[in-house]
Amino acid sequence: MNEGYLAVITRYDVIYFGSIILVVFLLLFAIFCFGVWLTRRPDSVSPYTKKPLRRARDLNWAASEKVLRYLYEMHDYDNKIFDIKKASVCRETGRIFPDSLTWFDRIELDWTFLEKRFPGDYVSWGSLIPEQQKAILVMHGSLKGFQTENSCPNPSPRDIEPEYIGLKPGPLYVDVSTNIVLGWKCIPETSLEVMVVQKPKKDYDFR
């Protein structure tokens, strides 16, 4: 008849397993504290107005549907539909910033949103000389819907002057090395705007 086997637990086994449990507990506690710290941090403000943003999921259904339909009908890989639940909206200008909500539902946004939207070294349309603007217009064929009439003369997007902040549509930016434009366009029948990428259709000789 076989006798039952009783495992022998030494003092070192107790210390070893106790240490593992303690480390796991401390790790979970640290994660919890980090999460609490993140949730208590204030939301980012609008890069343009420096005022609080709202979560785009709070937009009414009709407005959200118009935004998504506008992007869908562009049929453009560089201007794909985004998750409205992960976006924020500038209350004063109606500009929508995709992917600006963290996992902890905190709005996190700064001027790097331009490069995150589409990589490039962007300057304000208004900082270009008329010859450059004309050349870019020729390369694109049309810049319809973008703000080309009134644009801040300061090259850096973040140095926008107050008089240009609230214009509709919002500012237009250009990467002079690739001639790609990145700018705001108005969503028809709403007060909202989305940022649109447009690549040149032809080369141009500046000489």
Question: What are φ and ψ of residue 159, in 5° steps?
Answer: -95, 25
Name the pLDDT band for 13 (thresholds 50, 70, 90): confident
Instruction: Give the distance between the most distant pair of CA atoms in the chain.
Output: 100
By three-state DSSP, how is residue 97 classified?
A: strand
Arithmetic mean of pLDDT, 96-112: 94
Q: How far apart are CA 206 and CA 177, in angstroms?
A: 12
Q: Which alpha helices (H) appear in the chain, and where do they start and end?
A: 11-40, 61-72, 113-117, 130-140, 162-165
- Report which residue type is found at 82: F
Task: Give pLDDT tens digits for 120-178.
Answer: 999 999 999 999 999 999 999 999 999 999 999 999 999 999 999 999 999 999 999 99
Q: Which residue has the higher pLDDT, 52 or 28?
A: 52
Task: Give pLDDT tens digits for 62-90.
Answer: 999 999 999 999 999 999 999 999 999 99
pLDDT of residue 203: 58
Q: Where are the domains of the chain?
A: 53-198
pLDDT of residue 47: 97
How many C-beta atoms lie closer than 10 Å to residue 129's C-beta? 8
